[in-house]
């Protein structure tokens, strides 16, 4: 049974911490039975409703917007804004785990499609012309959403599965856009967040980190299911997709913020990293010595919204084409058996 990693509505009517849940999978016939023809056309057929026609465009009530197909909470009223486009617009999702992004190259444009991570319903698209603080505009179809006022949320509470065991790994290997894209490909990886590790909360922002004086490295936090992919496998992918012999630099990106590092959260993670480095050194896997630092994880600070899923959103940008996509290709070639089914299938 495929699973995903999301926040659901708990018994108190509030969002739970991220939990592993089964994906909602139905046949076309089953969806047709529970959806209106327009809901089916939009969410199961990647349709778009006509502008200025959706029932939720003008809604100003306080509450949550749930996936109309599976009731996953997607957006909250406090992030809704009037974009003038004719579709309900939000500047951020209710939780980063609850919206999945995917490159959409249809209609001769590069756009980023947004999907429900639990049932794969098509929701809309995301654009980079939104208001502060994220600068993003999540452009939704009303037909894909079910609005539920705050006092009615308890009616949509779900039993939180107890055996939702996930683990986290924090790696640095140069530009986080590229590192994030590498790990997003792997089966058993629920979420990859770009961010900063190695420094303090007060300097965990892009302009400060760019100075190279904060102690932070551009890092990724990988949330994964240890039953499906091990920490060792993640380490192997990491060492195969960046240059661990390059001190404080990856290619043209220079500075301590681009250092190669493993931020270990436990002694076990530290020992596994030490063992792999010893193996690679003994096997003379690289011409030069490995300079990857092993540092205790003191905190991980997610980066600004426009740095998340950057490769997916900007596949045609020069830097992404020349630096990130070759890394993604490398993972697809070298670690075929570790890929998510959909990553293996896309060209």
Residues that bind Zn ion (CB under 5 A): 67, 69-70, 72, 116, 118-119, 121
Three-point CA angle 263, 266, 269, nearest 5°: 65
Nearest residue (CB) to Zn ion, 26 versus 111: 26
Nearest residue (CB) to Zn ion, 119 versus 148: 119
> What's the order of all strands across the beta sheet hosting 167-173?
293-296, 260-264, 167-173, 217-224, 189-197, 300-302
By residue count, the chain amounts to: 347
How near is the Cβ of 321 to Zn ion at its closest, in Å?
32
Residue 144 near residue 67 (C-beta atoms within 8 A): yes
On the question of a cis peptide bond just before residue 133, with omega within 30 degrees of 0, the verdict is: yes
How near is the Cβ of 70 to Zn ion at its closest, in Å?
3
The set of residues, in sequence order, having a beta carbon less than 8 Å from that of 168 and lying 6+ positions away, is 221, 222, 223, 224, 265
How near is the Cβ of 66 to Zn ion at its closest, in Å?
8
Nearest residue (CB) to Zn ion, 25 versus 105: 25
Nearest residue (CB) to Zn ion, 8 versus 222: 8
Distance CA 262, CA 270 (A): 8
How near is the Cβ of 47 to Zn ion at its closest, in Å?
16
> What's the order of all strands across the beta sheet hosting 145-149?
73-76, 63-67, 145-149
The set of residues, in sequence order, having a beta carbon less than 8 Å from that of 277 and lying 6+ positions away, is 244, 290, 292
Nearest residue (CB) to Zn ion, 39 versus 292: 39
How near is the Cβ of 120 to Zn ion at its closest, in Å?
7
Catalytic positions are: 139, 175
Residue 182 near residue 237 (C-beta atoms within 8 A): yes
Q: Percent helix, strand, coil in the chain (nearest 5)?
A: 35, 25, 40
């Amino acid at each position: 049974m495929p699973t995903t990693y999301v926040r659901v509505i708990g018994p108190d009517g509030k969002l739970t911490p991220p939990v592993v849940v089964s994906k909602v999978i139905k046949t076309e016939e089953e969806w047709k039975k529970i959806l209106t023809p327009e809901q089916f056309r939009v969410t199961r057929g990647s349709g778009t409703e006509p502008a200025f026609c959706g029932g939720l465009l003008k809604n100003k009530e306080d509450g949550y917007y749930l996936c109309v197909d599976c009731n996953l909470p997607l957006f909250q009223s406090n992030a809704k804004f009037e974009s003038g486009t004719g579709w309900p617009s939000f500047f951020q999702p209710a939780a980063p785990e609850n919206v999945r992004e995917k490159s959409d190259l249809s209609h001769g444009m590069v756009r980023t499609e947004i999907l429900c991570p639990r049932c794969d319903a098509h929701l809309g698209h995301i654009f980079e012309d939104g208001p502060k603080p994220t600068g993003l505009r999540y452009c939704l179809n009303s037909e894909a959403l079910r609005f539920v006022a705050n006092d009615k949320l308890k009616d949509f509470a779900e039993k939180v599965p107890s055996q939702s065991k996930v683990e986290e790994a924090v790696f640095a290997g140069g530009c986080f856009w590229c590192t994030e894209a590498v790990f997003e490909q792997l089966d058993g990886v629920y979420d990859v967040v770009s961010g900063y590790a190695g420094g303090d909360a007060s300097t965990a922002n892009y302009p400060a980190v760019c100075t190279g004086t904060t102690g932070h490295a551009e890092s990724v936090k990988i949330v994964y299911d240890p039953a499906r992919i091990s920490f060792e496998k993640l380490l192997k992918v990491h060492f195969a997709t960046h240059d661990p012999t390059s001190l404080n630099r990856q290619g043209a990106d220079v500075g301590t913020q681009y250092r190669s590092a493993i931020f270990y959260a436990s002694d076990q993670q530290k020992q596994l990293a030490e063992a792999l480095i010893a193996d690679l050194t003994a096997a003379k896997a690289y011409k030069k010595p490995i300079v990857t630092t092993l540092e205790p994880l003191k905190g991980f600070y997610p980066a600004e919204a426009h740095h998340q899923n950057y490769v997916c959103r900007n596949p045609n940008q020069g830097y992404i084409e020349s630096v990130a996509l070759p890394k993604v290709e490398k993972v697809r070639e070298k670690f075929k058996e570790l890929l998510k089914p959909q990553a293996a299938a896309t060209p």
